Amino acid sequence: MAERHIPPPLRFLLAARRSELHGLESLAVTCELAVHLSALVHALQKERGYSNLTLCSAQGRLPQEGHEQTLAALVQDAVRVEAEVRRFLDGLAAAPQASDKARLLNCIAYALFRLDELPGLRRQVRDVSLPADEADARYTQIISSLLAVVFEAADSALDPAVTRTLVALLNFMQGKELSGQERAAGVIGLTKGYFTEPQKARMLGLAAHQARSFDVYAQYAQDDALQCWDRILQQGQPVERMRDMAQRTSSEQRVDGALAELWFDLYTARIDAMREVESLLAQALARQCEHRIAETRQELADRQLLLARYADHASGRAPSMVFSVQSRPVDTPPADGVGSVLERSILELMREQTLRMQRTDDALNSVRGALEERKRIDRAKRLLINRYGLTEQAAHERLQRAAMDGGLSLADVARQVIDQLGSD
């Protein structure tokens, strides 16, 4: 199949298809990365939970119950998963870098930087040399740097179906992470026996933000993952009841500190069950990438064959076999002479490819809309940081407080901030 015999327009038609294929192959790698990261996030969430319990126990606020052994096993798990992620990333760093991957690579750099803090953090937890809430915040920062990589993966994906699943995965991971934070916040409050008003507000905020994430997830996920999530939701009453109870506590109305462990176990079972949804989404991603790559490869092969025959035809070797390899639009009966049919067929091929690309683009834009909310919140934070010299954490809290005070969503508050400060 000598491609240099193919006329230039058709050569570029093939080059466009090949470029799409490259994009899909690189997307498959990005999806694999997202799946690896979801495993690491899960391991770190478990480790964070037990670190929290261990610190609370060691600081005498909960009975000692062998959390250390469990934690040691979980740390081992997390170290193993992290090693897998790092091996995968080594391969990625060695590969030549496409020009549209700069933001993803930058996010990976930041996540790796954060991951390097793990050994020190673990040492401090083992030595019980930092408060539970500080350990919690540092684990949370590491996890959020990993989620940021998944966000970039979804935002830079060029296939609508795969992007849908990545958006579903990202939102599910976000919801699950907020669940982890709610678990920690609950343990801290219940250990003390009651929640202060700001703690209650934080619990409510976490629950609302979770619900929002899972709603977006449900909008973009496939059947099997949705059914799995429905089963988890149906078993959610105990957690709901304890949430309500937490809201009714006060320094006058305390509950038994031992409820902290019940809450922790209930919530841990729930979060562990969520991991199955992530596995289903990971399978869907692999399936979709594989399918799209196989499809595009086949089309490219068909087209190369078609165009090679066209070249043969043009050089007078095989006059009438040109269109026998493809069925659909090019298969028009030769009515007004081969030349003109040929020309119309090629035009048809180009139109078809252009239309497909435009449809892809429209679909991509509409799926990516789901990522706009987070981008808007990030942008508002950046504006607050620049204008008032806040830290990231303080900027986030200011947005959250404004949302709670005004009965608005974070995204709405972010829009107001951008409208006010957006000229920066």
Q: What sign has the CA pseudo-torsion 189, 190, 195, 200? A: positive
**What would the x/- binding string for a second copy be over residues 61 to 90, using CB under 8 A?**
-------------------------x--xx
- Residue 45: which of 153, 149, 182 has the closest Cα? 182
The rounded distance, in Å, linking the Cα atoms of 228 and 126 is 36
CB of 136 to a second copy, least distance (A): 21
The rounded distance, in Å, linking the Cα atoms of 12 and 6 is 10
Shorter beta-carbon distance to a second copy: residue 116 or 295: 116
CB of 128 to a second copy, least distance (A): 23
Told to check if 407 binds a second copy by CB under 8 A, we report no
Told to check if 358 binds a second copy by CB under 8 A, we report yes
The interface region with a second copy, picked from 20-28, 52-60, 221-229, 266-274 by CB under 8 A, is 20-28
**Residues 6 or more apart whose Cβ sits within 8 Å of residue 128:** 54, 55, 58, 59
Cβ atoms of 352 and 326 within 8 Å: the answer is no
The rounded distance, in Å, linking the Cα atoms of 284 and 280 is 6
The rounded distance, in Å, linking the Cα atoms of 186 and 201 is 12
CB of 338 to a second copy, least distance (A): 16
Q: Which of residues 24-53 bind a second copy (CB under 8 A)?
A: 24, 26
Shorter beta-carbon distance to a second copy: residue 143 or 185: 143
Told to check if 233 binds a second copy by CB under 8 A, we report no
Told to check if 347 binds a second copy by CB under 8 A, we report yes
CB of 147 to a second copy, least distance (A): 15
Interhelix angle 8-58/118-126, rounded to 10 degrees, is 10
The interface region with a second copy, picked from 173-181, 220-228, 307-315, 343-351 by CB under 8 A, is 343-351
The rounded distance, in Å, linking the Cα atoms of 367 and 361 is 10
Among 8, 316, 389, 407, binds a second copy (CB under 8 A): 8
CB of 54 to a second copy, least distance (A): 26
Shorter beta-carbon distance to a second copy: residue 274 or 308: 308
Place of tokens 């401090």: 124
Told to check if 158 binds a second copy by CB under 8 A, we report yes
Told to check if 98 binds a second copy by CB under 8 A, we report yes
Cβ atoms of 78 and 133 within 8 Å: the answer is no
Among 60, 66, 99, 407, binds a second copy (CB under 8 A): 99
**Residues 6 or more apart whose Cβ sits within 8 Å of residue 125:** 51, 54, 55, 71, 135
Give the binding-site size for a second copy (rule: CB under 8 A). 50
Cα Rg, the chain, nearest whole Å: 27
Told to check if 22 binds a second copy by CB under 8 A, we report yes
Told to check if 198 binds a second copy by CB under 8 A, we report no
- Residue 216: which of 200, 231, 202, 229 has the closest Cα? 229
Shorter beta-carbon distance to a second copy: residue 20 or 136: 20
| DSSP letter (8 states) at residue 262 | H
- Residue 51: which of 129, 110, 108 has the closest Cα? 129
Shorter beta-carbon distance to a second copy: residue 8 or 66: 8
Max Cα–Cα distance, the chain, nearest Å: 95
Told to check if 388 binds a second copy by CB under 8 A, we report no
Among 129, 241, 357, 387, binds a second copy (CB under 8 A): 357
CB of 378 to a second copy, least distance (A): 8
Cβ atoms of 157 and 195 within 8 Å: the answer is no
Cβ atoms of 214 and 171 within 8 Å: the answer is yes
Among 23, 160, 257, 329, binds a second copy (CB under 8 A): 23
CB of 354 to a second copy, least distance (A): 6
CB of 334 to a second copy, least distance (A): 20
Told to check if 20 binds a second copy by CB under 8 A, we report yes
Residues in the chain: 424
Cβ atoms of 33 and 88 within 8 Å: the answer is yes
CB of 268 to a second copy, least distance (A): 31
Q: Where are the beta strands (DSSP E) in 161-273?
A: none
What residues make contact with a second copy under the rule CB under 8 A?
7-13, 15-20, 22-24, 26, 86, 89-90, 93, 97-103, 105-106, 108-110, 112-113, 116, 158, 346-347, 350, 353-355, 357-358, 361-362, 378-379, 382
